[in-house]
Structure 1
């Protein structure tokens, strides 16, 4: 790429971006949302399809003995290149994969189109690809649909599709952002291994410098559509020159940060005993029962935070859904200051459940796009006919002030806010009813590291000022250590280990906990030089 610029109407989104990536090497592109990371690569590969968009500059793909200028290529030339010479792995495999097509069909489609393979040959190749990316029982999975797979398995399928035709270039756009640390580590190792075997060049886009430090030899830092720093990953991460790069590095959560020691004599607010949750699911042999949570017990003390960690499918979010009444448990109790959340009904049940609030992972989908901020925050107040004294509008302004949002934001819609601002609105809504317990279910995992740092600081401040009690669910162990007084480690629906945060992080007893800690990206670059 040379001097690439992208404009939408009169607004210039990307300005003068230049870089090169060689065969077998990896270039990392980092920056916050809106910095132009994805826009640059989409424009460079001919995938930008926005009304009023214009692209200037040069983008060339060199493959063996031929070169193609992508920025001026015809639609026919781009169809020949996409999927064949350039493979793409995007952030969310659930939206990238077609829910109506089997895995075999989605992989073989590329092979039949670009390689002219027969259906039988394409199926054989699809099987080889699924095996190469580590899908268990690959042959039986060929006829499966995306919803039959976990998030990590779906991302492996996306990698298989992207690499089906042995492309010269792989574009990996935030491919591990939504994954837990162990699955993230597996995907990183998988791409490295396949890259070494095939000599593929990789452009890896991420907002996490820790991930870039593991995969890329060179790094390019973007801010507001412009390059602010560029060079070898080790140099940029160890001696950043630009203030923005320094801010990104300082905002990144790392092990070692943790709250003050827990008070063992503090009042127990929430106590869960022997919680069990079963789900009935369809299988090839008929319906079967899946035990999502199996005999989990824990307690949370007032003004403190219990961190719950584990891989996808470990049962973390199922516990949150049980506590908020979204899922009915099979057995067990959950006492909130002596009253069982799981058995109360009617008016007393509604009164008790308002004392447990929840902040979800994606603030955009958890807020109604048709409701203004004031309506979203005021809805729980209207449902419970609060406040009993004073103005509801005054309470909404007070909640906005509490989460550091200006009063005028009350009239805005969710699409008019940034990701961090939307999450602050979600937190304000959760605090509207003055709950005893706030459940934070991956509440910062969808945010950029700098915005994430601001939201975490807000949560810590609110806990101190209001004496809030948190159940903090996350797959990022560095954040869990920073936020939690006690930690519960889960695997396969069971409690593997639990104790104080210092005990879990400094002297873990179980091998699984040690494996989770070992999967955290190191502070220093850990790229194997080629």
Structure 2
């Protein structure tokens, strides 16, 4: 580690109007070092880094303090207050950025090659041919399959993990001195997350890049960073080596973040009788989709002969990587996708072929909670309107007053104040929006609740509270859950039985205690191995 930090941030502050968003944050990052910045949504993580790198463009924002970028030759650039010309010269060339959602960061209208070569032609003055050769080398370096063919592909033709690899290639195109990784693995499944973490570690070792890694999950930070800064409400409440933070956290907030992490060796749900009757039975489910490809029409076999049963008042964890067919199964059960074969019965009634009023009555018995509560709630509808909609559709409340009373009951049930009924989704936090989604799903009094990655986009502390809520509701009302997810630590916490899928087929299906104690299939063992360990890996 060189004595001179590559990036040195001192007493950084951000104010918008009378509100202080970042207050006196300082940190250094050296060559070949990763510094972790961790905290919940709204803690000021991204704001700190955006302000420290000159990217903050919020109306009325006032940035104070200093942020100095120093190269190997000793040339320093002050980023706070730098002119647009200076920042254009630095961004992309000396500082690379990888953001959380590659789907919105990549230009959907440009090929991967053009998006990589753009910065090479601008900052390195390469010819189009030279930049194309370098783009191919970068795609090979980040491990993208068939890199030569992928050069001419568009972002929508790649998976989430592949798009994130492309973002890393773009960020590293000009050999930057600092890489800013802002929640780069949050939206990815655990195996892809592990691959991205390993990729950044390898590239950092090969190129000597300094990395600032932002995350809400101390488990992820423990895999990549030796030093960590914990932020809360824009203030650094703790700064220490990662092992000190894990073993001897000084601040109560840090201890809360550590306690909220789901872990594989934690306790599962309370046991239920093994002879409990089945509520949902699925047999031989088969789903195929016709898709357009550059060489013509093709068929994707999304779900292949999938069978399972869910016992009443229990949780079946349906786990697998992105593209394994998990959400397609949920779409079939909720009537959004018509299967090509198989059967599914709820309490003995076929839910795939039923039509008319019987179908409406049956669909009421199956609730659905999706991953992103912000996009699943109508932004123009107040909370009471969203929750009462199922009451109107299914005729479960005779009057407006009855609906208001029921909305108040449901809000109280999910732990929200009744005053929230008058709020709009944008006025709620992520965890509060997800509680509203759960209340809406429960309004129709379903027998089966499908939770499709229902906690994947939440902070770990918010996730812990939502999981605790779901566990309480199941215990109090005997609810039955189909819990879809890619994080086996979350699946472990709620599931009585687990079904593992890969490429549309069932890999392993067993009681949760047996599967976690001794997985039979290598794919299941790989999923378990990809869960962040309890001990920080970056410290060893």
In the alignment, which residue of structure 2 is the partner of 1:419? 430
Give the equivalent residue in structure 1 for 2:407: 396
Unaligned runs of 5+ in 1: none
- Counterpart CA distance in 1 for 2:350 and 2:108 is 40
User: Is 1:177–2:186 an aligned residue pair?
Assistant: yes
RMSD: 0.9
Deviation string, structure 1 residues 444-491 (Cα, Å, up to 9, x no partner): 111111111110000000001111000001111111001100000000
Q: Structure 2 CA distance, aligned partners of 1:119 and 1:320?
A: 46
Structure 1 counterpart of 2:484, from 454, 457, 473? 473
Contact 1:293 1:318 in 2 (8 A): yes
Alignment of 1:21-32 (within 5 A): 21-32=29-40
Give the drift of 1:262: 3.4
Aligned to 2:46: 38
Q: Is the counterpart of residue 301 in structure 1 residue 311 in structure 2?
A: yes
Is the CA contact (8 Å cut-off) linking 2:370 and 2:452 kept in structure 1? yes
1:373-388 aligned within 5 A: 373-388=383-398
TM-score (norm 1): 0.99
Alignment of 1:20-169 (within 5 A): 20-65=28-73, 66-169=75-178
Deviations 1:495-516 (A, max 9, x none): 0000100111001100110111
Q: Contact 2:243 / 2:539 at 8 angstroms: preserved in 1? A: no
* Structure 1 residue 368, shift from structure 2 partner: 0.4
Q: 1:264 Cα deviation (Å)?
A: 1.7
In structure 1, C-alpha distance between the alignment counterparts of 2:460 and 2:245, rounded to whole Å: 17
Aligned partners of 1:261, 1:522: CA distance in 2, in Å?
A: 26
**How far is the alpha carbon of 1:388 from its aligned partner?**
4.9
With normalisation by structure 2, the TM-score equals 0.97
Aligned length: 529
2 CA distance for matches of 1:294 and 1:305? 22
Alignment partner of 2:466 out of 434, 455, 458: 455
C-alpha distance in structure 1 between counterparts of 2:491 and 2:417, whole Å: 29
Aligned counterparts of 1:334 and 1:262: Cα–Cα separation in 2: 23
Q: Distance in 1 between matches of 2:494 and 2:40?
A: 23
1:341 Cα deviation after fit: 1.1
Deviation at 1:211, TM superposition (A): 0.7
Determine the structure 2 residue equivalent to 1:284.
Answer: 294
1:199 aligns with 2:208: yes
Corresponding residue for 2:362?
Answer: 352
For 1:309 and 1:388, the matched residues in 2 are separated by 40
Displacement of 1:326 = 1.1
Pairwise CA distance, 1:528? 5.7
The alignment partner of 1:61 has SS state of: strand
Shift of 1:46: 0.5
Say whether the 8 Å CA contact 2:242–2:539 is kept in structure 1: no
Does the CA-based 8 Å contact 2:222-2:539 persist in structure 1? no
In 2, Cα distance between the equivalents of 1:347 and 1:414? 32
Write out per-residue CA displacement over residues 318-350 of structure 1, whole angstroms, 9 at most, x where no aligned residue. Answer: 111111111111111110111111111111111
- The 2-side partners of 1:274 and 1:513 are apart by 22
**Structure 1 residue 326 corresponds to structure 2 residue 336:** yes
- Unaligned ranges ≥5, structure 2: 1-8
Who is 2:220 aligned against? 211
